[in-house]
């Protein structure tokens, strides 16, 4: 029996919260969830995947689980709350949940930079997340989700890396053509850095497939976009 199975005893929590596995603490989000749960007369069941952060007081807690287990929980939950990271939001959308996303903030030492803030705002603009930046916003979102849970469910988001990479390439080239976009370039560089590192091996393994096919490889497009930004930002 896995640690998750021992924690849940066969039940599906109504609310699933995930802060990821970053070594930086995200106790702020767990505090908000705990305080809201404590104020509920009819308290919904809740599981918090808390990583390195503190365990919840008014919910079940587990430090980590497999991605497949987490996706199963997201799929069965009425409400999904995640940190504002790309992986967390896209995982929830993959199974049809419209997540409440709370970005970690660098000034609170919850993350090294502001990429989660930028990504969460972008995903909300695209209808892929509900961005929350305060405890009051979280309370309002939770109450809305309990009243109308169907509003927090959407068709699963189908990943299309080729289309995403080509769209990124177009936007980066627009920024490179505009000398007034230095700040935007810096933000884009931050968001691309981890993507570039994660895909460099995939890009290298594509070399044997021929130049034409390589040119369309999403990994090469992500890496090239990051390189172009780096060149522009160099003094």
Break the chain into its structural domains and give their ranges: 12-153
Q: Are 97 and 80 in contact (CB under 8 A)?
A: yes
Q: Summarize pLDDT for 74-131 with one digit per residue, the tens.
A: 999 999 999 999 889 999 999 999 999 999 999 999 998 888 998 899 899 989 999 9
Q: Are 70 and 20 in contact (CB under 8 A)?
A: no
For residue 56, name the pLDDT band (cuts at 50, 70, 90).
Answer: very high
pLDDT at residue 113, as a whole number: 87
With tokens 């892929």, the residue in question is: 128
**For 149-169, what is the mean pLDDT?**
74
Taking the C-alpha atoms of residue 135 and residue 141, their distance in angstroms, rounded to an integer, is 10
Q: Are 98 and 151 in contact (CB under 8 A)?
A: yes
Which of helix, strand or coil describes residue 7? helix
> In the predicted model, is pLDDT for residue 215 greater than 70?
no
pLDDT at residue 210, as a whole number: 47
Nearest CA-CA partner of 73 in 54, 51, 99, 55: 99
Q: Where are the beta strands (DSSP E) in the chain?
A: 15-18, 46-49, 60-62, 79-83, 100-102, 130-131
Q: Are 134 and 146 in contact (CB under 8 A)?
A: no
With tokens 């090469």, the residue in question is: 220
Q: Which CATH class is domain 12-153?
A: alpha beta
> Distances from the Cα of 90 to the Cαs of 71, 83, 84, 218, in angstroms?
11, 11, 10, 17
Q: Which residue has the higher pLDDT, 68 or 166?
A: 68
Across the beta sheet with 130-131, what order do the strands follow? 60-62, 46-49, 15-18, 79-83, 100-102, 130-131
pLDDT at residue 55, as a whole number: 97
Nearest CA-CA partner of 156 in 55, 71, 62, 222: 71
pLDDT at residue 79, as a whole number: 97
> In the predicted model, is pLDDT for residue 51 greater than 80?
yes
- Kindly report the pTM of this predicted structure: 0.72
pLDDT at residue 205, as a whole number: 41
């Amino acid at each position: 029996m896995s640690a998750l199975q021992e924690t849940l005893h066969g039940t599906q929590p109504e609310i699933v919260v995930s802060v990821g596995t970053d070594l930086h603490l995200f106790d702020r989000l767990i505090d908000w969830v705990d305080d809201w749960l404590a104020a509920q007369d009819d308290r919904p069941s809740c599981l918090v995947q808390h990583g390195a952060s503190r365990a919840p007081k008014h919910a079940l807690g587990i430090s980590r689980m497999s991605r497949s287990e987490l996706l199963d929980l997201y799929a069965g939950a009425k409400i999904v709350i995640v940190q504002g990271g790309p992986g967390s939001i896209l995982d929830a959308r993959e199974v049809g949940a419209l997540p409440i996303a709370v970005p970690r903030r660098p000034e609170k030492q919850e993350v090294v930079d502001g990429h989660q803030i930028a990504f969460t705002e972008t995903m909300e603009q695209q209808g892929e997340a509900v961005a929350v930046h305060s405890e009051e916003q979280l309370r309002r979102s939770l109450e809305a989700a309990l009243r109308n849970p169907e509003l927090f469910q959407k068709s699963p988001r189908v990943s299309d890396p080729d289309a995403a990479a080509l769209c990124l390439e177009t936007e980066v080239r627009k920024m490179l053509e505009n000398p007034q976009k230095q700040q935007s370039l810096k933000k884009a560089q931050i968001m691309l850095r981890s993507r570039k590192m994660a895909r460099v091996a995939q890009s290298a393994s594509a070399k044997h497939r021929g130049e034409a096919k390589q040119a369309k490889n999403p990994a090469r497009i992500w890496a090239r976009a990051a390189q172009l930004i780096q060149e522009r930002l160099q003094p």
